[in-house]
Structure 1
Amino acid sequence: MNTLVPRRDRPDIPKEYGVPDTDEGLVEWPWVVEQLEKARNYWLISQYPDGRPHCVPSWGAWVENKLYFSGGDMTRHAKNLAVTPGMIAHLESGDQVVIIYGKAVNASNTPPEIMKQIEKAYVEKYGAGEGATYALVPDKILAWTTYPTTPTRFTFG
C-alpha cells in the first residue's frame, strides 16, 4: 500500500471569496482517498489537439495514489491523450469536491498486484472486472467539503 501523504495547504483563490488564511479547516487526506475510492463515476477532461476541452464520464479505480481508467485507442480521450497527456478528473459532486490535476500515462506496465487491486475495485463497484489502460498521476488535488471554509490543495512530489 502506498503510504505517501501529499503536502497540504490552501489553494490560490482570490481573497474576495472568503477562504481563510489559516490551515484551520483543511480537508484531511483520508477523506479525499475515501471519496476517490468509493466514487462510481469520474469526469475526465482532456484537450483536443486544437486546444478545445473534452469531457466524458468514465468508470475508474483509485489505487496507490493514481486514478486508473480505460479507453480504447479510438476513443476521443485516448486520441487527445496521445497528443497532450495533461488531464483533469472531477468527481460527480459539486458540494463534496475532489478534483485531480495531472498527467495520464499508459498503464500497460502496471505491476500485477496493482492490476489485481484495480480489477477488484471494478468488480465491487461495477460488477465486472476490467483492466486499466491509463493511470492519471496527480500533480495536485483540490478538495473541499464546505465552501469557502475548507478548500484544500494537496501537492505531490
Structure 2
Amino acid sequence: MSTDPAADRPEFPEGYGLPESTDGLLAWSEVEERLRTAQNYWLASVRPDGRPHSVPRWGVWLDGAFYYDGAPTTRHTRNVEANPAVTLTLESGTQVVIVEGESRATRADPEGLGARLSEAFAKYADAGYSPSADAWAGADGGGLRVITPRRALAWFNFPADSTRFRFRER
C-alpha cells in the first residue's frame, strides 16, 4: 500500500497565474487513478552521451509504482541501466501527469506480485497482450522494470489546480 506523497504548488515563472494559496490542489488519489487507467504512457530517458530519448510504453501503476517490461536490448532499457533517471508522462497536454523517478530491473513471484501484475496488465488483452503471472519470474525477470517515483506534477485545470507531489524515500 502506498503512502500519499506531500502536495504543494510547483514553482513556475511569474506570469503563469499560479495561485499563491494551496486551495484547489489536486488530491493524489485523482492523479493516481489516471495513472492506473491510462493505456499509453511516454517514457523519457537519457542516452549515455546525454541526448534525450522518448518512447511510448504500455505498463501498469500498482502499489505506488509503475511496472513495464521489454527486452534488455532496447534503447530505453540500455539507457536506464546506465542512468536510471526517467520521466513518465501521460498522453494529454491538458490533463497533465508527469512522474519523475528511477527505473530499475526487478522480478515478480507468480504467486504474489506476478499474479497482481498479470491482472493489472489485463487492460491490454484486447490489444493482444496478456502476460501470465509467471512472465516475470525467470532469472532475468522477463524484462520487468519498475519506476519508483520521486516527484510528480499534475494539473487538470491549469493553472488553478497545478500540484507538485513529493514522495518519501523507499
State how far apart, in whole Å, the 1-side matches of 2:23 and 2:48 are.
41
Deviations 1:20-46 (A, max 9, x none): 111111111111111000000110000
**Cα drift, residue 112 of structure 1:** 4.6
Report % sequence identity: 39
Local SS of the residue matching 2:99: strand
Where in structure 1 do 4 or more consecutive aligned residues deviate above 4 Å?
109-112
**Cα drift, residue 92 of structure 1:** 0.7
Q: Which residue of 1 aligns with 2:166?
A: 155
Instruction: Give the superposed CA RMSD.
Output: 1.5
Contact residue 71 and residue 77 of structure 1 kept, 8 A: no
Kindly indicate whether residue 9 of structure 2 is the aligned counterpart of residue 10 of structure 1.
yes
TM-score normalised to structure 1 length: 0.93
Contact residue 102 and residue 136 of structure 1 kept, 8 A: yes
Contact residue 104 and residue 145 of structure 2 kept, 8 A: yes
State how far apart, in whole Å, the 2-side matches of 1:34 and 1:51 are.
33
Contact residue 102 and residue 138 of structure 1 kept, 8 A: yes
State how far apart, in whole Å, the 2-side matches of 1:84 and 1:117 are.
28
Larger Rg: 2
TM-score normalised to structure 2 length: 0.86
**Cα drift, residue 83 of structure 1:** 0.5
Unaligned 5+ residue runs, structure 1?
Answer: none
Q: Which residue of 2 aligns with 1:21?
A: 20
Letter in 2 for 1:34: E
Local SS of the residue matching 1:82: helix
**Which residues of 2 match residues 8-157 of structure 1 at below 5 A?**
8-108=7-107, 112-123=111-122, 125-127=123-125, 128-130=129-131, 131=136, 133-157=144-168
How many residue pairs get aligned? The number is 155
Letter in 2 for 1:90: T
**Cα drift, residue 89 of structure 1:** 0.4
Local SS of the residue matching 2:112: helix
